[in-house]
Structure 1
Amino acid sequence: MASSKARHTTVTAREYAGSDETTPLLPSSTPIPKLISKASPRTLIILVIVVILLASCGDQLMESPQTRIFESVICYRYYEATDPSKLLVGREAVGPGAIGGVAEMWCKVSPVQSKVASLRGWQFTLEGIPSLLLALPAGWAADTIGRKPVAILGLLAFPLRAAWMQLVTFFWQAFDVRMSWISAVFASIGGGSTALTSVMYVIVSDITTEANRANVFVLLSGFNLLAALFMPPLAALLMETNPWIACLAGTCLQLLAIPTFLFFPETLNYNHSPPPPIVPEPTTAPHGNHADSPAPPPGFWRALPTRSKNATAFLTRDWRILALTAPFPFLFLGGNATQLLIQYVSARYEIKLSKAILITTIRMIVVTIILFAGLPLLSKLLLRKYAFSPRRKDLNLGRLSLLFGALGWILCGFAPTIPVVIVALTISALGVGSVPMLRSFITSIVEKQHIARVYAIITVLDTLGGMAGSPVMAKLFSRGFALGGYWTGLPFYFLGSMTGACAVLIFGVNLRKGEDVCAVQDSEEEEEEAREEEVPTV
């Protein structure tokens, strides 16, 4: 896109203050006009994709190996106390993270797996507390200060969190593994990972049109899941040598995301024209007192409740906004259930963790195909052949995705064999479109100045879902394994049931009068506008 240019002739306050009746109205030398350049949406989206790939690849590369290291430490301490004959190496010779201290096959017993699930579940809950407290302030900061500072702080939290967990497990004989929970402190930087995700979506909504927004959201989700497709098999391969290799490599990738994002411009006023020059009014201030600061507005704190009420009034004007945000806690919980899913497959079918990673990667393959081919083609079909408006298309695809997700998770819990669980994971993958489609629909019915706040609310709900849901899923996992049989899939029965209930709720949300008129014309006009802006489509 060609850069926009603005030419301003300004008179500074200092020059004005020193003028009198004989001073010329224009300054003797006009300042050189400032050119305001704006990068094209295509360039910015590509840069966002690069940053997301670096952060996600780092996270996916280290997540399963870190779980294996936690399992190794807990397993070593368990057999040290109950059956020392299972120990291959003594404490004085065992390496960092107790790797090689006990054969992995002995670590699939219920006491060890329950402790691993509980450790990870509570860690997620504790990391969610700062995210919960800071999500709305982060949204406010993104709406007022800018998107870029919030995003940079969020990116910084990732490698700090990883480094602390690696420190605790590296010196496992000096630290209790529960000390890894202190990583929650780093979630307070930038509002945590959920706030970072929210800001990234806000940035994309700043630079895309309504017709193209859902496709770009799908594109971002697709590239994010590419990391989940390729990194776990790489991690599994590295784990055969040593899980520490994958952990340290993942931290390095997350560090690279920070300097990469420094090249990104601020998008807060991306589609707004620059403000006109301000020429100060003459004042009668005493001589030599031109720099005095204005007094703070009276009654600020008394007016704060009213301002807060006004800032969230849009939520009560349209009940659909709150209804549409209801599925996000469970969608977030399902999206972050990968480690529990890997642990479930490994323990239920008694296979090594590295092989369980390869089985769950099949789901990522299906997800990637859907995001890069299935959803874009189906979206184009609905828009062009069936004359759906972008809003109707997003709403209906969101509903359908929720139904597939609910069915897939319930079948995953039921699956008695590995082939059945592969089919279940494939069906659950068909629900991946719910997040981008519902986000796009919400964005289309919310006023632009409220978008970051709505995304902040989604962040809060995501965090609440993770905080409350992770311990519940861990407890259901332990209880299911204790009961045995089909009860083993208890956490996935819960997840599928909640997703199904949300699908029923979303079927009650409909378009209002005037929101679905001229569907074909509006879609074609916005697609033409998107092509002019050179926004990449999928």
Structure 2
Amino acid sequence: MLEQTPLLSNIDDEHYNGVLSETVGVDNAFQAAQRDTKYSSVSSRYVLQLCVLMLIFNFTQYAAYAPLTAVFEDIICTHYYSSNFHHLPLSQRDCKVIPVQYELALVKGYKDAFSQIPSIFLSIPLGLLADRIGRKPVILLFLLGIFLNDTWVKVVCIFPSQLPLRLVWFGPVLKAVGGGANFGTSMLFTAVADVTREKDRVPAFLKLSAMEMVVQIAGAPLVSTLMSFNNWYPLGLSSILLVVAGLIAILLPETHPQPRGTILVSPSTVYGQASISGHNEGVQLADSYFQMFKKVVLRSYTTSGDLLKNPGILLSLAVFLLAAWGAHSWALLLQYVSQKFKWEFSTANLLFSLRCGITLLLSLLIIGAIDRFVQQKLGIKSAQKDLLLSMGSCILIIVGVTVVGLAQSSILMVAGVVISALGSSLLVSFRCAMIALFPQTPVASLNAVTAIAESFGILISGPVLAAIYSWGLSQGGIWTGAPFLLASGLHILALAIIFYLRLTRTPVQVSALLERQGS
């Protein structure tokens, strides 16, 4: 009852009807605003929790990167001189000689390549499993696999006399528990997509990706300082923080809107009949989970086949593959700068801090402002806007890595690092574009195949870049930067694909897909 409601039941007053409709409309708008506010609050809290997890995980990886490179080089150098020049004093040993640097590039290259194998073969099954049982269990498995691999690599380094250094190549077998780093990262992005609207997705993705930048800005001075005392201090810290990341993941809420873990498992199969003993119930339960996993694996091949039949998705995956291949050239930056400009690893490590400081500014301020300008002022929406941002980012990366590869002075090299950092939002904006371009595809499955594409890119890049870098060292001059020149060419191909998608995947086509999905 309202203040304007007449006492008589026969209501023909037009004034009353108008007031009533206005009041109800205001009330509905107020309730909608309340729902939006509540949704925004819950969404922001979930995104914050996922950002904290991403922050800690990235720090564990970053804190181990430069120290492991230094430890690898020291082990290889010691073995090289003890085998060939055992009489040479330690003070006269030069670890920057080509044989040592070649072996270092080879060990790191194949280690990074083999690390991608779990993501390639398990991303689709685990992505479908995440759609069935939720994101949280899969994220926990991913962290467990990372911890086991990390522990194995450090054990090999602790016992270099008993264990050949190349045994680190077998660490990725342990990553298979959870699909590897690329798949785990894609699951965190999937969880963010679960709790955000499409219009808020780019800022949320940028916040998540910015955690890597925060780590490298704040972590570089800390890691470099710890390395000045002992390379094992940051390595020990990374192991501790991996455990902390696992504990935080246990406290995460489930973000999947409707986990369907029970769909593939019938109650009679899981719980058994009342007459079945406890032992038989356990056997039935194990068998039910085996059957569920079998169905998920079989469906994964069907799903991946269906996705790859779509030319647009196939081209999008090619962008991820090329960009990941090219971006992996930065894995050689420490070695490249140390060899060419005679920088210490602890000093060269600060380049990542510089690069990520610019990327963080880009993620938190510049890209957000450009995103609003393109949407509000230019009226370009959704996928077309994200494709434009991707193209601009790709151009900056092409210019930056070319400068780094051709630089003959450290100042010019640093300028190239800065320019390339301005394009570091490439895969974030393109991921958003792909989700908008293919709205009928489940987000988890789409992110899973992108993880596979990125893994393939890194799998190829590891051995290829190591071989190209070794060839460049033997040639000397500008050719020492050959991996970065290759990265420039790969990004040129990626730019051509993005431009083609922008021409062919028009807003009208995307709107039509959305309408068909709604109907």
TM-score of the pair, normalised by structure 1: 0.78
Structure 1 residue 191 and structure 2 residue 183: aligned? Answer: no
Instruction: Report the Cα distance in structure 1 between the residues aligned to 2:231 and 2:340, rounded to whole angstroms.
Output: 22
Decide which of 46, 49, 54 is 1:47's aligned counterpart.
Answer: 49
1:69 maps to a residue whose letter is V
Aligned to 2:63: 61
Check conservation: 1:62, 1:250, Cα contact below 8 A: yes
Per-residue deviation at 1:242? 0.4
Check conservation: 1:389, 1:516, Cα contact below 8 A: no
How do residues 345-424 of structure 1 correspond to structure 2 at under 5 angstroms? 345-424=337-416
Aligned to 1:514: 508
Aligned to 1:451: 443
How do residues 168-179 of structure 1 correspond to structure 2 at under 5 angstroms? 168-179=156-167
Q: Deviations over 1:303-341 (max 9, x none)?
A: 999967863576367522221221212322344443311
Instruction: Report the Cα distance in structure 2 between the residues aligned to 1:420 and 1:442, rounded to whole angstroms.
Output: 35
Instruction: Report the Cα distance in structure 2 between the residues aligned to 1:467 and 1:306, rounded to whole angstroms.
Output: 24
Instruction: Report the Cα distance in structure 1 between the residues aligned to 2:88 and 2:56, rounded to whole angstroms.
Output: 40
Aligned to 1:482: 474
Instruction: Report the Cα distance in structure 1 between the residues aligned to 2:155 and 2:303, rounded to whole angstroms.
Output: 42
Instruction: Report the Cα distance in structure 1 between the residues aligned to 2:329 and 2:137, rounded to whole angstroms.
Output: 30
Please give the secondary structure, in 2, of the residue aligned with 1:191.
coil
Per-residue deviation at 1:505? 1.4
How do residues 47-126 of structure 1 correspond to structure 2 at under 5 angstroms? 47-88=49-90, 106-126=94-114
Distance 1:360 1:200, change over 3 A: closer
Distance 1:179 1:313, change over 3 A: closer
Aligned to 1:164: 152
Instruction: Report the Cα distance in structure 2 between the residues aligned to 1:271 and 1:208, rounded to whole angstroms.
Output: 17
2:491 maps to a residue whose letter is T
Per-residue deviation at 1:227? 1.1
Instruction: Report the Cα distance in structure 1 between the residues aligned to 2:177 and 2:220, rounded to whole angstroms.
Output: 27
Instruction: Report the Cα distance in structure 2 between the residues aligned to 1:315 and 1:391, rounded to whole angstroms.
Output: 19
User: Structure 2: which 5+ residue stretches go unaligned?
Assistant: 1-37, 264-274, 512-519
Structure 1 residue 231 and structure 2 residue 219: aligned? Answer: yes
Decide which of 124, 136, 142 is 1:148's aligned counterpart.
Answer: 136
Aligned to 1:504: 496
Please give the secondary structure, in 1, of the residue aligned with 2:422.
helix
Per-residue deviation at 1:223? 1.3
Distance 1:251 1:173, change over 3 A: same
Please give the secondary structure, in 2, of the residue aligned with 1:107.
coil
Check conservation: 1:408, 1:424, Cα contact below 8 A: yes
Please give the secondary structure, in 1, of the residue aligned with 2:380.
coil
Aligned to 2:423: 431
Per-residue deviation at 1:203? 0.7
Check conservation: 1:79, 1:87, Cα contact below 8 A: no
TM-score of the pair, normalised by structure 2: 0.80
Distance 1:161 1:316, change over 3 A: closer
Q: Deviations over 1:154-175 (max 9, x none)?
A: 0112222121111111111111
Between 207-216 and 504-513, the greater mean CA deviation after superposition: 504-513
State the percentage of identical aligned residues: 26
Distance 1:360 1:44, change over 3 A: closer
Instruction: Report the Cα distance in structure 2 between the residues aligned to 1:164 and 1:304, rounded to whole angstroms.
Output: 30
Per-residue deviation at 1:145? 1.9
Please give the secondary structure, in 1, of the residue aligned with 2:254.
coil
Distance 1:56 1:431, change over 3 A: same
Please give the secondary structure, in 2, of the residue aligned with 1:84.
coil
Please give the secondary structure, in 2, of the residue aligned with 1:326.
helix
RMSD of equivalent CA atoms: 3.2
Instruction: Report the Cα distance in structure 1 between the residues aligned to 2:396 and 2:149, rounded to whole angstroms.
Output: 34
Distance 1:61 1:513, change over 3 A: closer
- Paired residues in the alignment total 452
User: Structure 1: which 5+ residue stretches go unaligned?
Assistant: 1-36, 89-101, 276-287, 518-538
Check conservation: 2:220, 2:352, Cα contact below 8 A: no
How do residues 192-207 of structure 1 correspond to structure 2 at under 5 angstroms? 192-207=180-195
Check conservation: 1:395, 1:441, Cα contact below 8 A: yes
Distance 1:268 1:66, change over 3 A: same
Q: Deviations over 1:340-368 (max 9, x none)?
A: 11110110112211111123432222112
Aligned to 1:534: none
Instruction: Report the Cα distance in structure 2 between the residues aligned to 1:106 and 1:135, rounded to whole angstroms.
Output: 43
Distance 1:182 1:358, change over 3 A: same
Instruction: Report the Cα distance in structure 2 between the residues aligned to 1:306 and 1:234, rounded to whole angstroms.
Output: 46
